[in-house]
Structure 1
């Protein structure tokens, strides 16, 4: 074999050429795909973060969280970027302290007189931002089909919390069952009943127990929510006050927030969502048509609250 046996012509042994450039192209392609995938993940994660940042969580205190309209309300709020959480209170008296202590952000369960009484008693400044409705306070009986059937000396149960108690006494006076000294006020108590001029006696009980008291009394004044929960037919009530009357102003139900949040745009948006027919219509239907929607300006509500608070604080 000559020394030329190692010449290039002898390198061609039928083997394929080393594909260096081809593999380099494949590797570059794979690297590009990896970069694209990483970028896509970053973009998606960034978009998710941005979306989460755009959402607002609001905790609202209520006393009827099981009602169907709350589900609708939450869905409509969620579509506007507000995650609404209902916090239910079985005791009316806990929802305002929870708001004051920032356990919740807003509440919707009370009328203006209830709020005025709370603020005055606790030196607090919770404030209304919007009105919702007025519901009647009605008289029910399992023993008598009409007010006239309630006998002389009969007994009537009424709620014992200060605001609803006074309103119940005014309802009984309108029904001709009792007479209050000096005509009564939004702060009247059973001590102001003119017994000699009254047809019945009253027994104050916890508002939640007024329904349970029906078998043992001639009649009972029952808050609308408790009456509906007990499946009482509001059309069968013996008597009720007029939600459309000017005297009903203290009993306008309101959205309530801490004073520093009175102009919070998210809470104002929640008010507008509540007024959507899909929510307010369901709430109206849930009340069996008894509630009357009210739209009062915030300044007017604050004025009513201030007047009521002054009344509450004024010694008798």
Structure 2
């Protein structure tokens, strides 16, 4: 009888030890903000993570398609949500309907925070899209007539960039200190009496034939089949604009260091993506890493 009791106690103790070991390896991770997962007793993992990222079609969504394959190797699923405007993808990140977005430069993001009360931050700078000055009715800067019409984007940040590009080419002179907040009112000298035509950025390519010249954003130039090599002048990648208008991966404040977001940053700043940018866009998209 004593031997039987001893055997039963030994078996119960062994079962308890085995059950205790099993609870550590069989626990389920709870998803944490930013698409990442909370660490288990056996360590952290991003396997099974889903990241939802908003982007405009070109070049951002195209670049993210390359990133998707890189993240898949780590067990991370990237869902790309395309937008055709600059407002909804920011609101979606603010409301945590998206983990991040990739479509805007840092100056626009900061101004959006100020005007709309959002709390977006840059997780990383990724690339720069120089503005190009393209021929419309006039085929060269030398042939530009007095009173010529030049179309520029009508949003605050990109209009300033366009005016700085015109100043870079000696077509106008801006008031001292106007910089990245310049408007038409800051034109101090206009020797050719150029007419600056303000248009929505997305509409300029369709109006190119109606004006003498047009300053066009890189993404819209790509959409219209225009190449940087076709431009009469290009915004310098070495100047103030390159830093002020670097395109960023934007997230809601507090999520910039989430493991899944950092995995996304690493993929965006990989050699594969750099090569894709350089070979695909031929100068219209400049890696900043």
Deviation, 1:269, is: 0.7
Contact 1:155 1:203 in 2 (8 A): yes
Please report how far the alpha carbon of residue 73 of structure 1 lies from its aligned counterpart in structure 2 after TM superposition: 1.6
1:63 aligns with 2:48: no
2:187 aligned partner: 193
Is the helix fraction higher in 1 or 2? 1
Q: Is the 8 A contact 1:127 1:258 kept in 2?
A: yes
Q: Distance in 1 between matches of 2:48 and 2:104?
A: 28
How far is the alpha carbon of 1:246 from its aligned partner?
4.2
Cα deviations by residue, 1:5-57 (Å, 9 ceiling, x for unpaired): xxxxxxxxxxxxxxxxxxxxxxxxxxxxxxxxxxxxxxxxx99x99x984111
Q: Which protein is bigger by CA-based radius of gyration?
A: 1
2:228–2:234 contact (8 Å) kept in structure 1: no
Unaligned segments of structure 2, at least 5 residues: 1-24, 32-36, 38-46
1:137 corresponds to: 131
Q: How many residues align?
A: 248
Query: Structure 2 length as normaliser, TM-score?
Result: 0.79
SS of residue in 2 equivalent to 1:92: coil
**CA RMSD for the aligned pairs?**
2.3
Q: Is the 8 A contact 1:244 1:292 kept in 2?
A: no
Structure 1 residue corresponding to 2:227, chosen from 213, 224, 233: 233
Paired residue for 1:150, among 144, 168, 176? 144
Counterpart for residue 177 of structure 1: 171
Whole-Å Cα distance in 2 between the matches of residues 241 and 65 of structure 1?
19
TM-score (norm 1): 0.72
Question: Any residues of structure 2 matched to 1:16-55 within 5 Å, and which?
Answer: 54-55=47-48
Structure 1 partner of 2:118: 124
1:213 corresponds in structure 2 to 207
1:166-315 matches, cutoff 5 A = 166-194=160-188, 197=191, 199-295=193-289
The C-alpha deviation readout for 1:259-316, integer Å capped at 9, x for no partner, is 1102111101111112222223213323223332213xxxxxxxxxxxxxxxxxxxxx
Contact 1:89 1:95 in 2 (8 A): yes
Greater CA deviation, 67-76 or 217-226? 67-76
- Residue 126 of structure 1: CA displacement? 0.7
